[in-house]
Amino acid sequence: MLTSNYFESLAAELDALKNKVRNFIQDKHWQTDGEWKESVLRAFLRRNLPKSIQIGSGFVITEREISKQIDILIYDSSKPLLFQDGDLVFAPPDAVLGVLEVKTSCDNTGFKAAVEDLCNKSELIETWYPARRIFGLFSYEDQTGDITDILATVKAVVNGRFSRIIHLVCLGHSRFIRYWNVDPINEKRLIDRWHAYELERKASGYFIHNVIEGICPDSVSQHQRLWYPKESKELNKIGEISLRDT
pLDDT single digits (tens) 54-94: 999 999 999 999 999 999 999 999 999 999 999 999 999 99
- In the chain, the number of structural domains is 1
User: Minimal CA–CA distance to 123: which of 78, 85, 68?
Assistant: 68
pLDDT given for residue 22 in this prediction:
56
Calpha distance 213→229 (Å, rounded): 14
- Cβ neighbours of residue 177 under 8 Å, at least 6 residues apart? 150, 151, 154, 168, 169, 170, 171, 194, 195, 196, 197
pLDDT of the residue at 20: 66
pLDDT at 18: 76
- Give residue-wise pLDDT tens across range 169-190: 999 999 999 999 999 999 899 9
53-68: burial string, b at 16+ Cβ within 10 Å, e else: bbbbbbbbbeeeeebe
Cβ proximity of 211 and 71 under 8 Å: no
Can you give the pLDDT at residue 24? 58
- At residue 26, the pLDDT reads 53
The pLDDT value recorded for residue 30 is 52
The range of the structural domain enclosing residue 229 comes to 4-242
Give the separation between CA 185 and CA 137, rounded to whole angstroms: 25
211 residue type, one letter: V
The pLDDT of residue 29 is 44
User: Which positions of the chain have pLDDT values less than 70?
Assistant: 1-2, 19-31, 246
HSE, side-chain direction, 13 A CA sphere, residue 104: 12
DSSP helix/strand/coil, 16: helix
